[in-house]
Amino acid sequence: MCHTKLKQQDISQVIQIYQDRLGNELSREAALQGLTMIANNHKGQAKNSVTEVIPLSNLHNFLPSFFDLLKKSQRQLNLYTLECLEAFTRRYSNQFSGQIGQLQSELSKLIDDQDVQRTTLALQVATNVISAYPKNKDKHQEVLHKAALVSGTEL
């Protein structure tokens, strides 16, 4: 699919294909799963093993597509999108510095007590962003407030 030994130009072409597939209703779930696999880069190893990061760039360009997909009412599509965002923000967190506020704002909309799995994934993404950018406390407040409300620690 995408390998660390590929040239940057080849990797960019592969990523562009995935970007195009996100716009197609028939292939977007497969595209999200493929992007998640590329970001995680397990190479058949245990999921918690540390592997080399494939040099992906401009991942922030996926955010508008991801935000659109998260607004759709299809639960599985939301989960695949959040899994991909989680992998991106965990492995490539340095690429989202300009989108922290927008990311946290979109994530806060997904944190509620209606869908525990979706909330858990949204909180994992938010935690990745907070860990990568701890000095941007003002941009994290909305997510932290929603998390406290859902957990029942703040009434």
pLDDT, one tens digit per residue, over 26-52 is 999 999 999 999 999 865 555 555 677
- Whether 123 maps to a domain, the answer reads yes
Q: Which domain holds residue 24?
A: 8-151
- Measured at the CA of 41, the angle between CA 37 and CA 44, to 5 degrees, comes to 90
Output the pTM of the full model. Answer: 0.85
CA nearest neighbour of 142 among 104, 102, 97: 104
Q: Per the structure, how many domains does the chain have?
A: 1
Across 101-116, average pLDDT: 89
pLDDT at 154: 53
- Whether 58 maps to a domain, the answer reads yes
- Whether 136 maps to a domain, the answer reads yes
- Whether 139 maps to a domain, the answer reads yes
- Whether 1 maps to a domain, the answer reads no
Provide the H-helix boundaries in the chain: 8-21, 28-40, 63-70, 75-91, 100-108, 116-132, 137-151
Distance CA 65, CA 101 (A): 17
- Whether 3 maps to a domain, the answer reads no
pLDDT at 145: 74
Question: Model confidence at 155, in pLDDT bands (50, 70, 90)?
Answer: very low
